[in-house]
Homo-oligomer: A and B are copies of this chain.
Amino acid sequence: MGGWEEVRAEVLRRIRAREWVPGAVIPGEEALAVEFGVARATVNRALRELAEAGLLERRRKAGTRVALLPVRKATLEISIIRQEVEARGEVYAHRVLESRMEGVPLAVALRMGVPVGVGMLFLETLHLAGGRPFAHEVRWLNVGVLPGGAVPDFSVTSANEWLVQNVAYATGDIAFSAEAASGAEAAALGISAGDPVFVTERVTWTAEAPITFVRLLHGPGYRLRTMV
């Protein structure tokens, strides 16, 4: 048996075929290395990947066992909205509806971990696909942490894209939910008030300070997809 991918495939086959049942300890790396005729490091690489995928549980000394209730991990690819639109074969455009300095309200302050009323740039943007509304974005931006200091013109490059290019590689957390569109939101998206919208809320941080809070609304028909 050849490389680590073959080892992974064979181990996966044994798990699926229930040759190794959930909860049971499987042979150690050393034993598998001998059986498969590879080095232990190769087995380690294969088992590590399966553990990261949630199919195996590994603990030092205790050994490796097949997960009893495997928590499957699906990976979502978070790309910029322009790419998402263009991937559908449509022409992207965006329009800045609002752009002003404003003190953050309580809900935003709590999420960003800053005091209420801190001055941030408030941005409201409509993203268009083929001229039709695609997503409505509301954003608070901590201009203090921007590289260069000056605030760029977001009507040229959207804040979404500009941030990915210029303050990227930050950490953050994301939440998805379904909500009813408010009157203003519905008007922007060209739907009716009360219609269900797919909401993405994201807070982004550097090591020290919060960068931005975004609330993104997608109208009916939007689907977020992934594979497992």
Contact = CB atoms under 8 A, between A and B. Distances in A.
- Most chain B CB within 10 A, of A15, A72, A75, A179, is at A72
A178 interface: yes
Interface string A1-44: 00000000000100110100010000000000000000000000
Contacts of A68: 165
Given A224-B177, A227-B173, A69 B80 contact: yes
A174 interface: yes
Interface stretch (A97-105, A110-118, A194-202): A194-202
A76 B226 CA distance: 10
Given A15-B169, A22-B165, A197-B178, A73 B78 contact: yes
B180 A198 contact: no
A63 interface: no
A34 to B, nearest CB: 22
Contacts of A12: 169
A68 B82 CA distance: 14
27 contacts: A16-B169, A69-B80, A69-B164, A70-B168, A71-B77, A72-B77, A72-B78, A72-B79, A73-B76, A73-B77, A73-B78, A74-B76, A75-B75, A171-B227, A173-B225, A173-B226, A174-B225, A175-B225, A175-B226, A176-B223, A178-B179, A178-B199, A178-B220, A178-B222, A179-B220, A180-B195, A196-B196
B174 A228 contact: yes
Nearest to A67: B168
A83 interface: yes
A171 B72 CA distance: 10
A16 B206 contact: yes
Count class of interface residues, chain A? 35 or more
A196 B180 contact: yes
B178 A196 contact: yes
A55 interface: yes
A175 B228 CA distance: 11
A172 interface: yes
Given A171-B227, A179-B178, A164 B196 contact: no
